[in-house]
Structure 1
Amino acid sequence: MNYVPLSNSLDFEVHIISSAVISIAALVISYFSIPAAAPSFEAAGLFGIDIGKPKPTDGNPPHVPEGLGLVCGIVYLASLMLTDVIHSDSFLTDKINVLYMLSSSLLILGFADDVLNIRWRTKIMLSIVSSLPVVRHFWGDTTVSVPHLSIWHYFFGDKLTVNLGIIYIMFLVCVMIFCINSINIYAGINGLEVGQSIVIGISVIIFGTIGLNKGGITTVLPSENEQQGGVIISRSKDLCYFAIVTALPFVAVCLALWVHNKYPSKVFVGDTFTHWAGATLAAIGILGKFPFGLLLFFIPQIVNFVLSFPQLIHFLIPASIKSHLPLPFQNCPRHRIPRLDRTTGKLKYTPNLTLINTVLYFLGPMKEKTLTNVLILLQTICCSIVLLCYGMDWISI
């Protein structure tokens, strides 16, 4: 099937307006579907206890329905189907289909994790398998443009492009695995998982909008001109529109979920949401050919992963050595969240290696709502700096 470039089919504005209408509908449907579905999740045994809240006097903390990210994921997939119909005559169809495949597979994996509590090593392997459709999309297309940085030209000379081969494929797999799991380990307080996803999703939309003003996202295309090294560097507005039309419904369903998940949470998102959200954002970035730029939007998640890594691999440390190491290196509890001071109602840091505990260590105890706002503000600042640098041409991503 020959796909017609979006720029040669319908007007760009028509596609954006139609995607905005779909996104608004997705927001409304998700907003009302989540509370409607919550009792069914709780009745099926999918619920949690908010351990960051004081226990009631009768000693029976209320159950909070968990796994409601499934509702948002389903509505998002339906939105993608409608978007696919609208773009049925454009080359975006192929990319949307791959995104649909990955998003649905990770939605199933996340829900299975909520129900079966899948082991980490198993989830990593399943994440690798799930990333294959996206990686296959790039097989044979591993030439990238060199950023406008002196250090890069020191290594690559005056070449404008470099073929990374299998290294680039491995990089894309690592991006997929990281994004799928990074939101999951940067969680534990009301609204944080959804809040950070909304900020990253909005950043992707702004990134695509800036890219349109720049003439499109930089891409490397094959060329028979040997003087150009067998490739040509061009800009694609279609990739910008792909990022926008797929991120719009993502942000919409996340906003609906955030209303119910923000402090004090009426529902929990579960691993269903964290795995699905990370996979969807990763797929948009990779298929939109800005994986490096996407990673820059994940700076707080990268910091949290670096802090968490020694604790996450504690099982690789021999017991004889582990017993002499500080507490965080000895084990990795399922919940590495801060501790509630019941006298002040504030959260205090615990000896667990996370960005959340690091913020509490330096800024002092906070109310849970305040802590969430601080962390989302940090995410917003990091993403805003990246967008500013991109818009001012200080970085090329």
Structure 2
Amino acid sequence: MWSLVILILLSLFAYILTDELIYKLQSLFINAGLFGIDLCKVSKEKIPEAIGVISGCVFLITILLFIPIGFGYSLMDRGNFPHHEFAELLAALLSICCMLLLGFADDVLNLKWRYKLLLPTIASLPLLVVYYVNFNSTTFIIPIPLRQFFGISVNIGFLYYIYMGMLAVFCTNAINILAGINGLEVGQSVIIALSIILFNIIELRGDQYKAHNFSLHIMIPYLATTLALLKHNWYPSKVFVGDTFCYVSGMTFAVVGILSHFSKTVLLFFLPQIINFLYSVPQLFHIVPCPRHRLPKYSAETDLLRASRTVVLKKDMPLLTKVVLRIFTSLKLVDKVEDKDGVILNNMTLINLVLIKLGPMSEVQLTKTLLVFQIFCTCIAFLIRYPMASYFYDLNIYNNFVS
């Protein structure tokens, strides 16, 4: 436990360092051409972009500095050195470091979406190799109502590694597509990080103490550096975090979920991101036209945001598009206007859905609304993970296999 106290002190220093570096290095990013214009503001001043690389670097450095402290006693007694735990930590750092590098490359080179799906897969390979060597547990526990058909558990073998690779891809991109207004990317990441830390603290009393202790050693420095970034990214944003931050955050959550054996619980903390992804599928797969930016539309006269829109031309409308629009319209998930030439409807993101349901609102109010929804979903996640799980699982068996 003493190691956690030292880690918290290091993390406090990391917060101060990140805060200071972001303040001092903003001009370097602008001079290097890494800047953007806030499309939801009247002002057209240059705002430094890809600042997530600063918080990511300090986060990694903090964990690296902690290694001699965390493994200090073990280094003195080489016969009892925890090689498996050390390999896990190095693999975690390697995967996160890869995403830091690849994310910054994306911010600089503006890579296409197909590469954004490929990069997390490559970066997760060290993670999967260490998981295979140290654990190689590929068993799913079957809910009690289905056990008469499938038994208590099912070993899915290699498919489990595909699932974990897809988890890394989802986590890194899910935060990236629920973005675009001041403080949202960092705010949702802070809430997810706090949710994981709370879950780890609850589970420290159980049989998986080492796994959750490992997760805390990664999440606490991450939270500290991310809070410093949020200070500068909150409305009105002085910096943009870029894809670098989204990649590092997603990979960090995937790392602790996989190596600490609670990957399904991590997905529960991603409920808003899952909803946003499912709602966005028609545009992500170009069933419905998808513009480059799906940000809300800003009105300078009212200083409010309203849902942005896209146009579907009737003459080019495939049958699948017609079916999708009919389903979404019947479920009242789109606000559309139809004329003889085509259909005008809102862009399919959770941000725009909130605006069509609650009406135009200020950017800061929209961010707060979405973050409150994130907190609400976290409460639902804990409800599913604890009280409801007992109805579907024998918890003694579940806690031994859960991941």
Q: One fold, TM greater than 0.5?
A: yes
Q: Is 1:185 aligned to residue 177 of structure 2?
A: yes
State the distance in 2 between where 1:353 and 1:145 align: 33
Of the three residues 144, 150, 153, the one matched with 1:150 is 144
Give how far 1:384 is off: 2.2
Correspondence 1:60-139 to 2 at 5 A: 61-88=44-71, 89=74, 90=82, 91-139=84-132
Which segments of structure 1 move beyond 4 Å, counting only runs of 4 or more? none
Q: Distance in 2 between matches of 1:152 and 1:341?
A: 53
Q: Which runs of 5+ in 1 are unaligned?
A: 1-12, 56-60, 216-234, 318-328
CA contact (8 A) 1:190 1:261 kept: yes
Q: Is the 8 A contact 2:117 2:169 kept in 1?
A: yes
Offset at residue 87 of structure 1 (A) = 2.6
Other-structure match for 1:294 = 266
CA contact (8 A) 2:140 2:156 kept: no
Aligned to 2:291, the other structure's residue is in SS state coil
Q: Quote the offset at 1:84 in angstroms.
A: 2.2
Q: Does 1:210 align with 2:202?
A: yes
CA separation in 2, counterparts of 1:162 and 1:145?
Answer: 5
Shift of 1:145: 4.9
**Cα distance change on mapping 1:155 and 1:355 into 2, 3 Å:** farther
Partners of 2:274 and 2:149 lie apart in 1 by 26
Residue 152 to residue 291, structure 1, CA distance change in 2 (3 Å)? farther
Tell me if the contact between 1:146 and 1:152 (Cα under 8 Å) persists in the aligned partners: no
2:26 equivalent to 1:32:
no
Q: Which runs of 5+ in 2 are unaligned?
A: 75-81, 309-345, 391-397
In the alignment, which residue of structure 1 is the partner of 2:5? 17
Tell me: CA distance 1:92–1:24, structure 2 relative to 1, closer, same or farther (3 Å).
farther
Q: Structure 1 stretch 32-41 or stretch 91-100: which is displaced more?
A: 91-100
What is residue 251 of structure 1 aligned with on the other side?
223
- C-alpha deviation, 1:150, in angstroms: 2.7
Quote how far apart the aligned CAs of 1:19 are: 1.5
Deviation at 1:138, TM superposition (A): 2.5
In 2, Cα distance between equivalents of 1:22 and 1:392: 36
Aligned identity (percent) is 40
In 2, distance between residues paired with 1:172 and 1:110? 20
Supply the distance in 1 between the matched residues of 2:366 and 2:148 (Cα, whole angstroms).
43
Q: Does the CA-based 8 Å contact 2:98-2:123 persist in structure 1?
A: yes
Q: Aligned-residue CA RMSD in angstroms?
A: 1.6
Give CA-to-partner distance per residue, 1:64-114, whole Å, 9 cap, x none. Answer: 000110000000110111232223234432221111101110011111111
In the alignment, is the contact (CA less than 8 A) between 1:142 and 1:164 conserved in 2?
no
- Whether 1:175 and 2:163 are equivalent positions in the alignment is no
In structure 2, do the counterparts of structure 1 residues 122 and 282 end up closer, same or farther at CA, with 3 Å as the change threshold? Answer: same
Whole-Å separation in 1 of the counterparts to 2:196 and 2:148: 31
Task: Report how many aligned residue pairs link the two structures.
Answer: 343
Partner of 1:283: 255
Tell me the TM-score normalised to structure 1 length: 0.83
Deviation, 1:168, is 0.7
Which residue of 29, 43, 48 maps to 2:31?
Answer: 43
Following the alignment from structure 2 to structure 1, what is the Cα–Cα distance between the partners of residues 291 and 18? 33
Distance 1:210 1:152 in 2: 28
Report the secondary structure of 1:139's partner residue. helix
SS at match of 2:47: strand
Equivalent of 2:41 in 49, 53, 75: 53
As a proportion of its length, which structure holds more helix? Answer: 2
Cα shift at 1:393: 6.5
Return the letter of the residue paired with 2:228. Answer: A
Partner of 1:265: 237
